[in-house]
Chains A and B, each alone.
Chain A
Amino acid sequence: MNSSELEAFAAEIRIAAIECLAAFGQGHIGGSMSIADALAVLYGGELRHDPQNPQRADRDRLVLSKGHAGPALYAALALRGFFPRDLLATLNAGGTSLPSHVDRTKTPGVDMTCGSLGQGLSAGAGMAFGARLDGADRYTFVILGDGECQEGQVWEAARFARAHRLKNLVALVDENKQQLDGYVENVLGGGSIAGMFAACGWRVLEVNGHDVDAVSRAVQTAKDGLADAPTAVILDTVKGYGANFAEGLEFNHSLPVSKEEAESAIAAIRTGIGGAK
């Protein structure tokens, strides 16, 4: 996809994720919106995937470690044809294959079960290690939240991945600067996630997470093989970006999503397709 197609795809991911959340009536709108552009870049071409054969061995792997952003991933998967779009309306319904937090056993295209924060980078490191053992050229991408990076296991995994030179591992950190209890800076501020990955020996790239061209270039760089280390792409994002009822609120981690709010937000996104707002 070219950049305008990627922007349009990102807008469609936002729209489908809002519809998904509105069908249930509430959910993790903030972190689903902030990661939509990165998902568009991945599913728009940078991630090797096959909707007709979700378990294809040579696919790249994606671990959504911030598992509560499931609705955004489900939107991307539905739009790519992993399952019918009307399945999005079953979010969190009893017996659904689309639970609030991602589950590899339930959803075609979901590679790892996540939701207990801090665990995905370790699993991604294991997948990347396994690929290297097999001599496979696949990449493993792990999407982390910035609040999530308060979990100590993230840094155990970061040190592990560098020590074992997992250059086929890419962490994408959705630095939207907000978490459930408010602004990250107020909840557990201080320090820099980019600096922490750098201190762990990773190659670190910092980009505007809503600029699909910048994200694409960063992901391509992460795959260039030039660093003898894993790569962290720090995405400077806005929590709730593009959903007008959520963006700008301090407490927008999880919100009620009414049909009216959804319609208004979707209309606003459609007007602005070609730019998220």
Chain B
Amino acid sequence: MYTVLSEIKKSPVAMRDAFCSALTAAADADANVVYLDADLVSAFGMKPFFQKFPDRAIECGIAEANMVGVAAGLSAAGKIPFAHSFGCFTSRRACDQIMISCAYAKLNVRLIGSDPGITAAHNGGTHMPFEDMGVLRSIPGITLIDATDPVMLGDLVSQLASDKYYGVYYLRFPRKTAKAVYSAGSAFEIGRGSVLRDGADVTVIASGIMVAEALVAAETLAAEGISARVADVFTWKPIDRELIAKSAAETGAIVTAENHNVVGGLYAAVSEVTAATVPVPVERVGIEDRFGQVGGEDFLAREYGLTAEHIVAAAKTAISRKK
């Protein structure tokens, strides 16, 4: 079960520290947990893990395709590998290795893509994956997760390090701070969205950094007499069809909010469900098929239209389109 904090503000714990803590605990509990990185150990805050588990922390250098292939081989040898690079590189540089060596070969690999979308900030367009989930979404059987805050991330990493799951999992999240949404101790189910706020007029389906924006937007809408449901659909694949169809039926309109290209992203995934179940207006807040650029996150959020204000406007449009 999960509970939502009453006030949404920056988490005191960085996402990478939450990841490192959870993976360290998992590696303490299970000698098969191994970690691979592609020359981003310091940047990703994993030095403590390397110090604690020198044998099971594997530096692969700047060679992401090999790193993912090695992870596949480790999995074939019974290990539970977590392999990290920036999201742009994990997804694009190693796409065929994820497809063939991991997924088609039916191996058991966890892939981490850090700094998704605008959270790549000052690293700019070369490092700003608006397409990572879209690139990977057409790989059969892969699970895609856009983690929201450190509490969720810690829980998901603990689960993914266990025997509970087998397969290929891609997890994206910012390295640094994220807004805290969930109370400590919250637990999540991969493949199931979390309804954070109920509402009757429209449903905002968000994930990652857009969840906090969606909650702010719902407050603004409430002040204007519009009742917005907010759902955190952190698993993009397999997506929570039940939650989407139910929300479409009960609220009659949907807004998706994603830190990703709307092409091949959450908007696409949600629309695929509504088209096949309960066809309702679906509006979108996300990257409109553009490349990244340098800038602070606030600048980029305005530049690409990823703010609570954009969600408010999209919600009103979606409601106006109801028949």
Contacts and interface: CB of A to CB of B under 8 A. Distances in A.
A277 interface: no
Contacts of A187: none
A127 B74 contact: yes
Given A112-B105, A123-B101, A133-B34, A156 B73 contact: no
Interface size class on chain A is 20 to 34
Interface stretch (A114-122, A176-184, A247-255): A114-122
Contact of A125 (B34, B73, B96, B100): B73
A124 B66 contact: no
Nearest to A154: B66
A124 B73 contact: yes
A159 interface: yes
A49 B299 CA distance: 60
Given A119-B97, A163-B61, A126 B105 contact: no
A6 to B, nearest CB: 28
B65 interface: yes
A183 B87 CA distance: 39
Contact of B74 (A103, A116, A130, A153): A130
A16 B81 CA distance: 38
Interface residues of B, number: 31
Interface string B57-85: 01011010111111111111111010000
B66 A160 contact: yes
A164 interface: yes
B78 A157 contact: no
A59 to B, nearest CB: 12
B63 A116 contact: no
Interface in B46-65: 55-56, 58, 60-61, 63, 65
B79 A119 contact: no
B106 interface: yes
Contact of B76 (A121, A123, A133, A156): A123
B166 interface: no
Contacts of A153: 63, 65-66, 69, 97
Interface of B: 34, 55-56, 58, 60-61, 63, 65-79, 81, 96-97, 99-101, 104-106
22 contacts: A61-B76, A103-B104, A112-B105, A116-B99, A119-B65, A122-B66, A122-B72, A123-B70, A124-B73, A125-B70, A126-B69, A126-B74, A126-B75, A127-B77, A129-B70, A130-B73, A130-B77, A130-B78, A131-B77, A133-B77, A156-B61, A163-B61
